[in-house]
Amino acid sequence: MTPLRRRLLALAGCLALVASTLLSASPAHAAVPDVWAFAYMDNPAPAPGSVTNTAYQWGTYRSTCPGSWITVTQIAIGKYQLKLPCSASTNGIVHVTAVNDNARYCDIENWFDSGGTKVVTVLCFKGNFQDNSAFTMTYMRSSGGPVGGGAHAYVYSNMSGGVLASYNSTGAANSITHTGTGTWTVKFAGLSTGGYDGDLQATAVHPNDMARRCRVDNWYFSGTDYLVPVSCTDSNGAPVDTWWTASYHLKRSVFGAANPPTRLAYQTNLTGAPAGSSYNSLGASNTFGSAPPGRYTMVFPAVGVSRTHLQVTALGGPSGYYCNLEKTWTISGSDVLAPVICFNNVGVPTDNLLFSTYSSEI
């Protein structure tokens, strides 16, 4: 099959992506996740055991542990430990996005179970040094056969491409190929619609507290499979091997659930992007505005209600470029306005492509 030919060119800080013609196909089906949670840690220096902002957190724990909330403790400068009640589970993954306009980025140290609690340790950096920052976090764990519409898949990779955790709503096996220092290709088997439909996210993981950034480099389809190149760098933008997570979702939330939530959306910041890469569960047309260099406002109409969540991942660009949320997203009427900012490898705002994904709790 012809791949999506995205030519990512650094020309005066602007990038262009050339997309191939979409084909039509029926979507796969996806299982409801067994466990999921999201949170927004909006205080860069929280008191020990603080409840993260309750306007921006939710999950299965709200049913299994009524009245409980996600808490956070700052372990050190730029290092935070989140406790997700009643969320202990195996085979899940975590995504994190920094919320900061001053060239911060965040990755994951680890996640583990402590009794019935899922503990997630987040690291945030400025350059090569840990530094305080706000961030969003989501955890997901799925299993079992297909339920409902849409599609969902994820992987957790070690440095050599070994699969540490995996889920695919088709029941097929995902796989990872290590293609070079700091580069891998994920095969999300059986999920291709024959077009570029859905959203992708990636997050760096390093258990030794090293500064790492990961992103989606490109996106192809081959037969019934999606092939997703992922790249990771150090703080200087040099390719480096590390652990990482990546996920795919189609007409479902980033954490794999749908109906609920019934209010979700995703889009890229590419003018003329394939139609399937922009989705709004209420049928509204997503839009975005740009304010060069490097700033974008992603607009998700009609879906802004209740507790909400966002994740962002850079799409290609020169080595080391990355994208974050610039500040807290807002709801105007029922429209979600998400300010995104992208940086080059030395932290200067610079135009870049990205994936952005939004979900409400309901």
Q: In this structure, is residue 24 part of a structural domain?
A: no
- The whole-angstrom separation of Cα 294 and Cα 97 is 16
Question: What is the pTM assigned to this prediction?
Answer: 0.92
Average pLDDT on 63-79 reads 98
Number of structural domains, the chain? 3
pLDDT, tens digit, for every residue of 254-304? Answer: 999 999 999 999 999 999 999 999 999 999 999 999 999 999 999 999 999
Tell whether 85 and 163 lie within a shared domain.
no
For residues 67 and 97, membership in a common domain is answered with yes
Please tell me the distance from the alpha carbon of residue 36 to that of residue 110, in angstroms, as a whole number: 17
Q: Residue 42 CB: number of other CB atoms within 10 A?
A: 16
Query: What single-letter amino acid sits at 25?
Result: A
pLDDT category at 4 given cuts 50, 70, 90 is very low
Distance CA 100, CA 74 (A): 17
Residues 210 and 292 in one domain: no
pLDDT at residue 250 greater than cutoff 80: yes
Domain span including residue 51: 35-141
Q: 193: helix, coil or strand? A: coil
Burial class (CB within 10 angstroms; exposed 0-12, middle 13-18, buried 19+) of 271:
exposed
Asked whether residue 321 is assigned to any structural domain, the reply reads yes
Three-state secondary-structure class, residue 207 = coil
What value does the mean pLDDT take over residues 307-329?
98
Q: Is residue 170 located within the same domain as residue 122? A: no
Write down which residue in 111, 141, 171 finishes a domain. Answer: 141
**How many other C-beta atoms can be found within 10 angstroms of the C-beta atom of residue 94?**
25
| Structure tokens given for 245 | 């997570």
Q: Is residue 28 part of a domain?
A: no
Co-location of 198 and 162 in the same domain: yes
Q: Which of 194, 227, 250 is the last residue of a domain?
A: 250
pLDDT at residue 18 is higher than 60:
no
Residue after which a domain boundary falls, among 106, 141, 176 = 141
Same domain membership, residue 155 and residue 135: no
Question: Is beta strand 58-59 parallel, antiparallel or unpaired with respect to 93-99?
Answer: unpaired
Reported as a single tens digit per residue, the pLDDT across 169-185 is 999 999 999 999 999 99
Kindly write down the DSSP assignment for every residue of 106-140, as one continuous string.
Answer: EEEEEEEEETTEEEEEEEEEETTEE---EEEEEEE
Categorize the per-residue pLDDT at 146 as very low, low, confident or very high, splitting at 50, 70 and 90: confident
Domain assignment present for residue 55? The answer is yes
**Domain assignment present for 13:** no
